[in-house]
Structure 1
Amino acid sequence: MKHPFKYEIIYSSRKTLAIQITPNGSVKVRAPKRCPKSTIECFLNEKESWILKHVNKAMQNPPVMKNLLSVQERNRYIKIARDIFTQKTAYYASILNVTYGRITIREQKTRWGSCSSEGNLNFNWRLIFAPEEVLDYIVVHELAHRREMNHSQAFYAIVKSILPDYKKSQKWLRDNGRSLWTVV
């Protein structure tokens, strides 16, 4: 029988049939070693609507290809980030009249920045590809923790006193932040 999709059969020592839809939308059928082609065809007929649904979903959301950076490129970006965040932190710390410890540049998976109770600051190097006002917001946000170690109204009042439009940067991060992971 002809199906509206192409598929590859992968035989192995498994006991059951299974269908895999890859991120790029190709169909793989995993089958026991001596499974007859007619059994595989019946299985595909039964699962055809499920297969088409997931193939279409994969085609609408193609996987993002990340460029792998060389160690030299990554180190260069980290150095640029260190220079930017060192300057911005010193500038905004003097305005907020707060002190801070060391500045560390990282590649955190879930955070753009953080501030420890000792005042050590961490910044994600990928932020250097964000708009300038977003970098300012992250620095002010982390330094505001030197006065309020929480996200209370008092904390956001400190942020707002320095950056009245800080919510635009929050929105940018919410809407576009994931794209920074695909820049490089």
Structure 2
Amino acid sequence: MSITQDLPEIQIVRHARAKRLRLRVFANSIRLTVPLLCSSRQIDLFLKQSESWLVETWQKQQIITQEQPQNLPEEICLFDSSVAIQIDYVEQKEAFIYFAEKHTVRINQTQAELNLKAFILFYAKHKLPQYLKQLSLECALPFAKCNIRHAKTRWGSCNQQHDIMLNAALVLYPQHIVRYVCIHELAHTRYFNHSLAFWSELEKYDGAFKAHRKFLKTSALPYWWHNVAKKPDLSR
């Protein structure tokens, strides 16, 4: 549904674990997550009350997106390396070929955006679990398993079994930002909520967590990450 001509169609998702209505504004879409039993009247009222905020936030997001370069990068800096990875776009069968020692990756130039994203997912699945394990030992906050996903709304999550999920896109950010998200989820293994005790636990290991949290809320991922974040539905 849409509440104003200045906004795109709002995607409404009903979720069994949702306890309240929650809006998310992305570079090219807006999502509203609602509890399963939420009525259409409640949804309409919530959107009407949120209209000013939605318009302002959407416009800010568009400005950020427009200011980003729209060309594919020739190099990319990832969270755990002080050396940028050089990117070559070539004709080849493989989606990508990574030469770790040479800090180079060859990307299949056919569907280059999709293949570049595939490389980022590959890199994240190899690097993020290792980094999380390292921090877990340093902080004495053990976890069970680590899953890396292309999450659309969360940077990370921790369930009651202490399984932690991390967003693959984190590797595109500086290491202190990745560290904040990892510590945040590890702290949930001790406090499964956002109580004062949780924030105190987090602050023990990240005294600048408020600044890091704000950075994630105000920064934008590269355009090519969003462009291939959702495949078109060909069944319609």
Does the pair score TM above 0.5? yes
Query: Is the Cα contact below 8 Å between 1:107 and 1:125 reproduced in 2?
Result: yes
Partner of 1:145: 188
Give me the TM-score of the superposition, normalised by structure 1. 0.59
Q: Please give the per-residue CA displacement for 1:121-155, whole angstroms capped at 9, x wherever unaligned.
A: 11111111112111000000000000000011111
Q: Which runs of 5+ in 1 are unaligned?
A: 1-19, 24-57
Partner of 1:125: 168
Q: Which runs of 5+ in 2 are unaligned?
A: 9-58, 73-110, 226-236
- The match for 2:151 among 101, 104, 108 is 108
Partner of 2:221: 180
Whole-Å separation in 2 of the counterparts to 1:66 and 1:122: 30
Instruction: Evaluate the alpha carbon distance shift between residue 73 and residue 144 of structure 1 in structure 2; reply closer, same or farther with a 3 A threshold.
Output: same
Whole-Å separation in 1 of the counterparts to 2:194 and 2:142: 19
Whole-Å separation in 2 of the counterparts to 1:21 and 1:96: 46
**What amino acid sits opposite 2:223 in the alignment?**
T
1:26-65 alignment, distance < 5 Å: 61=62
Q: Give structure 1 regions of 4+ aligned residues with deviation exceeding 2 angstroms.
A: 20-23, 61-70, 72-75, 181-184
Give me the TM-score of the superposition, normalised by structure 2. 0.47
Q: Please give the per-residue CA displacement for 1:80-128, whole angstroms capped at 9, x wherever unaligned.
A: 1123311221111112212212211111111010011111111111111
Whole-Å separation in 1 of the counterparts to 2:165 and 2:7: 36
Instruction: Evaluate the alpha carbon distance shift between residue 97 and residue 175 of structure 1 in structure 2; reply closer, same or farther with a 3 A threshold.
Output: same
**What amino acid sits opposite 2:187 in the alignment?**
A
Whole-Å separation in 2 of the counterparts to 1:183 and 1:116: 30
- CA drift at 1:22: 10
Match status 1:93 vs 2:136: yes
Instruction: Evaluate the alpha carbon distance shift between residue 163 and residue 182 of structure 1 in structure 2; reply closer, same or farther with a 3 A threshold.
Output: same
Whole-Å separation in 2 of the counterparts to 1:22 and 1:167: 30
- CA drift at 1:66: 10
Aligned residue pairs total 126
Q: Which has the larger radius of gyration?
A: 1
Indicate the percent of aligned positions where both proteins have the same amino acid. Answer: 25
Normalized per residue, which structure has more helix?
Answer: 1
Whole-Å separation in 2 of the counterparts to 1:109 and 1:66: 23
For the aligned residue pairs, the C-alpha RMSD in angstroms reads: 2.9
Instruction: Evaluate the alpha carbon distance shift between residue 113 and residue 181 of structure 1 in structure 2; reply closer, same or farther with a 3 A threshold.
Output: farther
Whole-Å separation in 1 of the counterparts to 2:128 and 2:135: 10
Instruction: Evaluate the alpha carbon distance shift between residue 134 and residue 183 of structure 1 in structure 2; reply closer, same or farther with a 3 A threshold.
Output: farther
Whole-Å separation in 2 of the counterparts to 1:101 and 1:75: 26
